[in-house]
Structure 1
Amino acid sequence: MRYAILDEQGRVREEGEGGLAIDDRAATLQPLAGTPLVIPHGDVDRLEAADYRLALRFHTGETLRLSHVGPVYEQVLDRLAAFRDATLRRDLLLEREPPREIFSASVQASAWGPASPQPSRVLVYRDQVAILTNAADPVLLPFSSLAAFRAEPGSYEAALEDDDGGRAVVRKLGPRFEEFVSTVRGALGDLDRRTGESLGTLIPGLDPLSLRDLVRLCRDGRAVKESEASAVGAEVWSRLEQATIREPGLRESYDALRSIGQPGQAWIGFRPGGEEGGEGRVAANALDEESPPPLPDASGTAPESEDRPAFFCWFFVRVGRAVALEVVSEGDHATYLFRVGTDADRDVRAINRALRYLQFRREPVYAPEEELESGRLSRFRLAVRRHAPLRLARAAFLGRALHTTASAWRKAVDAAVAKA
Structure 2
Amino acid sequence: MPGTCWLVRAGFSGRCAWALDDEALLLTPEGHPPEAYPVRELQGVGGDEYTVGLVVDSQTVALSRLGADGSTLRERLARLWLPARTQALRLAGSGDGAPFAGAVTAGGATFPFRALLFDDVLVFATPGRDVQPLFLALLADVAHDRPAYRVTATGWDGAATVFSKLAGQTDAFAAALADRRAGLAAEAAAALASHLPALPLGGRAALSAAWPPGRMMELSELERVAPGFTRALASSWLAMLPRKAQGETLLAWATAGKVFLGYSRSAADQVPAQAPAEDAPEAPPASSDEAEGAEASGPGDPTAPLWLLAGRDDGWLLECLSLADHATYRFAAGEQVPGLVSQLLCAPQFSRTALYQPLEELVGDQAEFAPAARDLPFLGALRARFTGRMIHTSVAAWKRALDSPFPRA
Q: Matched residues in 1 for 2:359 and 2:298: separation?
A: 28
Q: Matched residues in 2 for 1:269 and 1:35: separation?
A: 51
Q: Name 2:281's counterpart in structure 1.
A: 299
Number of residue-to-residue matches in the alignment: 394
Question: Which residue, out of 97, 101, 119, partners 2:98?
Answer: 101
Q: Matched residues in 1 for 2:377 and 2:29: separation?
A: 36
Question: Which residue, out of 151, 160, 163, partners 1:158?
Answer: 151
Q: Does 1:357 align with 2:360?
A: no
| Paired AA for residue 33 in structure 1 | G
Deviations 1:229-282 (A, max 9, x none): 121244212212333322576322223333332124212222455xxxxxxxx7
Q: Matched residues in 2 for 1:94 and 1:169: separation?
A: 21
Q: Name 1:66's counterpart in structure 2.
A: 63
3-state secondary structure, aligned to 2:387: strand
Which segment drifts farther, 79-88 or 187-196? 79-88
Q: Matched residues in 1 for 2:298 and 2:392: separation?
A: 21
Which segment drifts farther, 254-263 or 362-371? 254-263
Q: Matched residues in 2 for 1:286 and 1:399: separation?
A: 19
Deviations 1:182-201 (A, max 9, x none): 11101111111121122122
* Contact 2:138-2:215 at 8 Å conserved across structures: yes
Q: Name 2:288's counterpart in structure 1.
A: none
* Contact 1:27-1:39 at 8 Å conserved across structures: yes
Q: Name 1:189's counterpart in structure 2.
A: 182
Structure 2 residue runs of 5 or longer lacking an equivalent are 283-296
Which segment drifts farther, 393-402 or 95-104? 95-104
Instruction: Please give the residue correspondences for 1:369-380 in structure 2 after superposition, counting only pairs within 5 Å.
Output: 369-372=359-362, 374-380=363-369
Q: Name 2:398's counterpart in structure 1.
A: 409
Q: Name 1:75's counterpart in structure 2.
A: 72
| Paired AA for residue 176 in structure 1 | Q
Q: Matched residues in 1 for 2:401 and 2:198: separation?
A: 40
Question: In angstroms, what is the RMSD of aligned CA positions?
Answer: 2.9
Q: Does 1:332 align with 2:335?
A: no
* Contact 2:270-2:352 at 8 Å conserved across structures: no
The 3 A distance-change label for structure 1 pair 35 and 233 is closer
Query: TM-score, normalized by length of structure 2?
Result: 0.86
Q: Matched residues in 1 for 2:105 and 2:215: separation?
A: 26
Q: Matched residues in 1 for 2:167 and 2:348: separation?
A: 34
Q: Matched residues in 2 for 1:219 and 1:171: separation?
A: 26
Q: Matched residues in 1 for 2:137 and 2:220: separation?
A: 18
The 3 A distance-change label for structure 1 pair 414 and 308 is closer
Q: Matched residues in 1 for 2:348 and 2:187: separation?
A: 20
| Paired AA for residue 173 in structure 1 | L
Runs of 4+ in structure 1 over 6 Å off: 304-307
3-state secondary structure, aligned to 1:83: helix
| Paired AA for residue 336 in structure 1 | Y
Q: Matched residues in 2 for 1:162 and 1:378: separation?
A: 33
Q: Matched residues in 2 for 1:305 and 1:72: separation?
A: 59
* Contact 1:195-1:271 at 8 Å conserved across structures: no
Q: Name 2:110's counterpart in structure 1.
A: 116
Could you tell me how far 1:78 is from its partner in structure 2?
A: 2.2
Q: Matched residues in 1 for 2:43 and 2:92: separation?
A: 19
Q: Matched residues in 2 for 1:219 and 1:5: separation?
A: 47
Q: Does 1:28 align with 2:21?
A: no
| Paired AA for residue 69 in structure 2 | V
Query: TM-score, normalized by length of structure 1?
Result: 0.84
* Contact 1:104-1:173 at 8 Å conserved across structures: yes
Could you tell me how far 1:208 is from its partner in structure 2?
A: 5.1
* Contact 1:145-1:162 at 8 Å conserved across structures: yes
Instruction: Please give the residue correspondences for 1:250-269 in structure 2 after superposition, counting only pairs within 5 Å.
Output: 250-269=243-262
Deviations 1:111-149 (A, max 9, x none): xxx54322x222221111111233223221111111221
3-state secondary structure, aligned to 2:365: coil
Q: Name 1:137's counterpart in structure 2.
A: 130
Q: Matched residues in 1 for 2:93 and 2:322: separation?
A: 22
Q: Name 1:48's counterpart in structure 2.
A: 46
Q: Name 1:276's counterpart in structure 2.
A: none
Q: Does 1:221 align with 2:203?
A: no
Q: Matched residues in 2 for 1:94 and 1:100: separation?
A: 11
Ranked by relative contact order (alpha carbons within 8 Å, sequence separation 6 or more), the top structure is: 2
* Contact 2:387-2:408 at 8 Å conserved across structures: yes
| Paired AA for residue 384 in structure 2 | A
| Paired AA for residue 106 in structure 2 | A
Q: Matched residues in 2 for 1:122 and 1:129: separation?
A: 7
Q: Name 1:278's counterpart in structure 2.
A: none
* Contact 1:285-1:294 at 8 Å conserved across structures: no
* Contact 1:285-1:305 at 8 Å conserved across structures: no
3-state secondary structure, aligned to 1:219: coil
* Contact 2:188-2:212 at 8 Å conserved across structures: yes
Q: Matched residues in 2 for 1:2 and 1:174: separation?
A: 32
Instruction: Please give the residue correspondences for 1:274-293 in structure 2 after superposition, counting only pairs within 5 Å.
Output: 283=268, 287=272, 293=275
Q: Percent identity?
A: 24
Q: Name 1:172's counterpart in structure 2.
A: 165
Q: Matched residues in 2 for 1:214 and 1:42: separation?
A: 38
